[in-house]
Amino acid sequence: MHVVHIIANNTTVPYLNWFAERLGKYPDIKFTVIALYPQEPDLIKEMKAYGCNAYWVKFDQANRKSGMVFAFFKLYRLFKHIKPDIINAHLFDDSVPALLAARFAGIKKRVVRKQDTAYHWNFNPLWVWADRFNNFNATDIIAISEDSKKFLVEKEKAPVRKIHMVHNGIPIRDFTAQINSDKEFLIKKYGLEGKIVLGTIARYIEWKGYRYIIEAARILTQKHKNLKFLFVGYGEQQNELEELVRKYGLSECIVFTNWIDRKFIPSLYGIIDVYIHAAYMEPFGFVLVEAMANGVPIVSSKTGVAADVLEHRKTCYFTRDKDPKGIYEGVEWMLENPGDREAMKEKIKKIAEEEFSVDKMFDKHIEVYKGLK
């Protein structure tokens, strides 16, 4: 079986490295990766180091329409040459040309993993037709959460028979490898000594809900003087959010760290007392799984994977979307119920290990490829 994964707009993709590392479990599978990117990305060398074939197709998302046309013809010729049995697209920019090219090339199994469900519906409705076109060209659609599956059926009108539920996974051991010296470094760098740390790791963009955390912080910091909020990310909304923090006089208790080197992330979870997830449109939410794997109690909107596996006041505290009062109440509940908060830690670690290992994700993808799921 020859499986080809196509990915756009990324120079490196840990998920594909995890797949390549596990190919020894399935010696009957040949794995090829095609990257759509302006320059040859690091991903090409990474895949070749695993013994996989890898190809680069020039694509610049700044020129999306013409880029997709060019990519379609390049992919069609490449598919005819390498003759895969299955293609698996992931993001919108790779799915449109790849699924169509695969259909014209006669590839019978065309899988799309819907990582960006609902983005166009909420922020760029002119492209919703293309999401539906992808669903038409795909023979199999992987939904990464029940929210994602429901959206695909109700909004994108995807046929239920095509949809498979496969949660994303992570290498749990790698994402929980906390280092004491790194924790000490982070505590000192961000002034966290003696503080209750409330953390959020997400891009600084509207739908991640930072403004609602800031509104909640106005109330929380009046009552609790030892709180420190860590906003870990980057993005177009940073100046707006920083201005809001200054306006409310919260600069001493809210830290914009910008992006932190990936090697520090496990240790970062080790210094967070409560993780806050305020996104109101989240197809999955990798950070939720990372927080769970590290045993960090969670206050979250009921979206993405949180809605699939967590329970209110048993393994998390759920809020409504766009709800500063709910975030305030969730954090307050966590602070006032340290016993319940402590009990959550081992429960959510177990859920992460059982439901979100990369091995489980890999095996379920293979089931989809082989028509077993």
CA distances (Å), 231 to each of 34, 54, 242, 347, in order?
34, 36, 11, 26
Q: What is the pLDDT of residues 161-181, one digit of tens each?
A: 999 999 999 999 999 999 999
Mean pLDDT for 301-312 is: 95
- pLDDT, residue 280, reads 87
What's 156's DSSP letter?
S
Backbone angles phi, psi at 142, to 5 degrees: -100, 115
Nearest to 72 by CA among 82, 61, 59: 59
Q: Is the distance from CB of 199 to CB of 317 less than 8 angstroms?
A: no
Q: Is the distance from CB of 148 to CB of 154 less than 8 angstroms?
A: no
Mean pLDDT for 335-348 is: 97
Q: What is the pLDDT of residues 12-41, one digit of tens each?
A: 999 899 999 998 888 999 999 999 999 999
Neighbours of 254 (CB within 10 A): 23
- pLDDT, residue 282, reads 86
Which residues partner with 252 through β-bridges?
none
Say if residue 373's pLDDT is above 70.
no
What span, in angstroms and rounded, lies between the C-alpha atoms of 368 and 356?
17
Say if residue 221's pLDDT is above 90.
yes
Q: Is the distance from CB of 143 to CB of 119 less than 8 angstroms?
A: no
- pLDDT, residue 123, reads 84
Mean pLDDT for 64-88 is: 97
Q: Is the distance from CB of 318 to CB of 300 less than 8 angstroms?
A: yes
- pLDDT, residue 119, reads 85
Q: Does the model's pTM come out above 0.85?
A: yes
Which residues have C-beta within 8 Å of that of residue 273, sequence separation ≥ 6? 196, 197, 198, 296, 297, 334
Q: What is the pLDDT of residues 82-131, one digit of tens each?
A: 999 999 999 999 999 999 999 999 999 999 999 888 888 888 899 999 99
- pLDDT, residue 117, reads 84
What the chain holds in terms of domains, given with CATH numbers, is 2-169+357-369 (3.40.50.2000), 172-355 (3.40.50.2000)
Q: What is the pLDDT of residues 205-214, one digit of tens each?
A: 999 999 999 9
Which residues have C-beta within 8 Å of that of residue 343, sequence separation ≥ 6? none
Task: Report residue 240 as tokens.
Answer: 């707006």
- pLDDT, residue 281, reads 81
Percent of the chain with pLDDT over 90: 91
What span, in angstroms and rounded, lies between the C-alpha atoms of 245 and 242?
5
